[in-house]
Amino acid sequence: MPRRDTGTVVADRYVLGAVLGRGGMGEVRRAHDRRLDRDVAVKLLDSPARQVPEALARFEYEARAAAALTHPNVVRVYDYGDDGDCVYLVMEALSGRTLGDEIARGPVAPHRLVEVACDVLAGLAAAHARGIVHRDIKPGNVMVADDGHVKVLDFGLARQFRMPGGDQAGLEGSTILGRPLGTANYMAPERVLQGPLDPRSDLFSLGVVMYEMATGRLPFAGASPAETVTNILEQQPVPVTKLSPARSMHLQKIVMRLLTKDPDGRYQTARELQEALGAPASKRTLRKLLRP
């Protein structure tokens, strides 16, 4: 990708600003949409990645999947295109930090843990209702705005799953036979084994995130990626309350059920998990979640 300094204009419209983040395929820059006079975030695909059909397909699918969702807990996509030397994706500009940054400060307060989980679930419920599995739920893909509002980001690994009663799976996102894409620590066992697409794998990943928020540790982390995968497939995590005695048994039961190896043993839908967490929360449910 050609050098793009601050002030460079993409697609004769988006004036690039500071770098917000970089990844294996490109970078995200703050920008200003001079046509609509508003700040945005622009994700740019590196030139080498453009030559890889898999990478280009993932980038395009991210745009299509996120654009199909209009929900307050999902980042909004405004535009997608190719200006000749780069492919770009334009999203709403968010001011805040990732959930990963918040967790790095220490275990998350009980009431905040429930709030974040419920917000992520609301976004996932909207995606699942449209037949979309996110496939990469992790703290780095959850944005916490300055006002505490939570949004799910990065649908680059999302895929369409077969809806009940439907005969078409629709356009699917990317995968590589024999090599599941995503972050190993947050993968459900069926994702590791490349089983059928299933929204319950997103709930497993959220269970890992909730465990990490509650304890400050990952439930299956190993000394190597191979050991992590083995742990996901074969080992049971240390109970939440053993690592964080102040956490409630009710929260522990919810998290441990989410981390069940067999999808049939988990909560079956985002809505079902929302009800278990009490969204909208009743005083009785909150007391069970927050007390030791």
Residue 84, pLDDT > 90, answer no
pLDDT band at 285 (very low <50, low <70, confident <90, very high): low
pLDDT confidence of residue 207 = 98
**Per-residue confidence (pLDDT) for residue 53, from 0 to 100:** 78
Active site members: 136
Question: What's the average model confidence in pLDDT over 266-276?
Answer: 94
The predicted structure's pLDDT at residue 181 = 64
DSSP 239: P
Which range scores top for mean pLDDT: 43-47, 100-104, 287-291? Answer: 100-104
How many Å apart are CA 254 and CA 13, to the nearest integer?
A: 47
| Per-residue pLDDT at 104 | 94
| Residues 173-198: tens digit of each pLDDT | 334 444 556 789 999 999 999 888 89
- CA pair distance 145, 149, nearest whole angstrom: 5
Look up the pTM and report it.
Answer: 0.87
Residue 98 in this model has a pLDDT that exceeds 70: yes
Query: What is the tens place of the pLDDT at every residue in 213-250?
Result: 999 999 999 999 999 999 999 999 999 999 999 999 99
pLDDT tens per residue, range 222-231: 999 999 999 9
219/292: higher pLDDT: 219
| Predicted local confidence at residue 66, as pLDDT | 85
- Considering the chain, what is the average pLDDT of its residues? 87
The average pLDDT across 70-92 equals 91
The set of residues, in sequence order, having a beta carbon less than 8 Å from that of 157 and lying 6+ positions away, is 58, 134, 135, 136, 173, 174, 181, 182
Residue 159: per-residue pLDDT: 87
> Which residues, at least 6 apart from 122, have a Cβ–Cβ distance to it below 8 Å?
71, 72, 73, 270, 274, 279
Domains and CATH numbers, the chain: 9-92 (3.30.200.20), 96-290 (1.10.510.10)
Query: What per-residue confidence (pLDDT) applies to 205?
Result: 98
Q: What is the CB neighbour count within 10 angstroms for residue 100?
A: 15
Higher pLDDT among residues 179 and 162, named by residue:
162
Looking at residue 288, its pLDDT comes to 64
3-state helix/strand/coil string of 138-159:
CHHHEEEECCCCEEECCCCCCE
Query: What is the reported pLDDT for 25?
Result: 72
Could you tell me the pLDDT band of residue 26, with boundaries at 50, 70 and 90?
Answer: confident
d(CA 115, CA 74): 15
